[in-house]
Structure 1
Amino acid sequence: MGITTYDMEVETAVPAAKLYQSFILDGDTLIPKIVPQAMKSIEIVEGDGGVGTVKLITFGEGSQFKSVKHKIDAVDKDHDKYLHLKISYHLKIEGDVLADPLESISYHLKIVPTAEGGCIVKNTSIYTCKGDVTIPEEQIKAGKDKAAGLFKAIEAYLLAN
């Protein structure tokens, strides 16, 4: 099985605790409000929002995909604002995002406070492919660009509100 891993960091002026609350804990309602062209809706189909929860993400009109379900593997709901804030989840349930050759995708996010009062969002993505296939570099770059755009849109909204 082919595994492709990439790391990405996005720096933002939004305080870590505020970004974590808005993006991770309240993201199901906030993200579709901020970027409906990317994510039309996010709904819990199983669970209570904690570990084991399954969410259905329906993508917006501008997306090449229709929907995906993901499962939360770990979430730091009882965080201390001075520590790293974390969530891990994987896409392995169903959805057109997992077309051949993908078997699963795991995401591990950390939101790390900075001395300036903002934070750095650190993401590690692990793509597991069927067979020995790996993800081409241009697809990884396109994914990073979309994710960075999403974080920048959330940042602009949070700084304005």
Structure 2
Amino acid sequence: MANATSFEVEFTSSIPASKVFHDFVIKLFEFVIDNIIPTHFGMAITNLEGDGGVGTIKIMTKDGSQQTKYKNTGLDLENFSHSMVMIEGTGDEEYESTSTEMKVIPSANGSSTFISKVTVFKGTDEGEIEFQKEQIGQWFKAFECTVTQGSSDE
């Protein structure tokens, strides 16, 4: 493959690791679509095959035409780790494979650390990397707000 670029983001949270893993990492697409993208019309996630485990393929469609397919390549429920790879995309640019590894590490005090490592197997610039880091950070902050607001209402 051509130029591979990797970057990592890490966020510490007061939310327990099991909740971050199950409600954010495993349900990332659903969380983003339900809680973050409502202002962007025309985006949908469809499960093409599989039950959510390794080998499951999901497709994200934007504006009815741009599509990106993702395949779950790893899932370790005991160690809170998940990996996926973008296997196909259409739209403004040609996609090559992009892999994402996510892990949640529990802390002794009940909090956790979320780590995401993204490897893009195509030429990419610093601006795009910074945009992707910021986007992951915004998604994670939105997740934390959603969880903490929900727990204070109960």
Question: When the two structures are superposed, what TM-score results if normalisation uses the length of structure 1?
Answer: 0.79
Contact 1:7–1:124 (CA under 8 A) maintained in structure 2: yes
1:147 paired residue among 102, 117, 136: 136
Report the equivalent of 1:56.
59
Matched, 1:138 2:133: no
The 2-side partners of 1:17 and 1:46 are apart by: 25
2:105 aligns with: 112
2:80 to 76, 85, 88: 85
Q: Secondary structure at the match of 2:109?
A: coil
Q: How many residue pairs are counted as aligned between the two chains?
A: 146
User: Once superposed, what is the RMSD of the aligned Cα atoms?
Assistant: 2.3
Change (3 A) 1:156 1:107: same
Equivalent-residue separation in structure 1 for 2:16 and 2:101 (angstroms): 19
Output the CA distance in 2 between the equivalents of 1:66 and 1:3.
Answer: 24
Q: CA deviation at 1:42?
A: 2.3
Distance 1:67 1:151, change over 3 A: farther
Structure 2 counterpart of 1:68? 68
| Deviation (angstroms), 1:27 | 4.1
Aligned to 2:121: 128
Partner residue of 2:36? 35
**What one-letter code is carried by the residue in structure 1 that aligns with 2:53?**
G
Segments of 4+ moved more than 6 angstroms: none
- Measured at CA, do residues 26 and 13 of structure 1 come closer, stay the same or move farther in structure 2, by a change above 3 Å? same
Which residue identity is paired with 2:88? I
Task: After superposition, give the CA deviation of every residue in 1:108-128 in whole Å (9 maximum; x if it has no partner).
Answer: 000111233221111111110
TM superposition score normalised by structure 2? 0.82
Query: Is the contact made by 2:25 and 2:102 (CA closer than 8 Å) also made in structure 1?
Result: no
2:149 equivalent to 1:160: yes
Asked if the contact 2:66/2:89 (under 8 Å) is kept, the reply is: no
Unaligned runs of 5+ in 1: none
Q: Does 1:3 align with 2:4?
A: yes
Query: Separation in 2 of the partners of 1:96 and 1:151?
Result: 26
Distance 1:93 1:112, change over 3 A: same
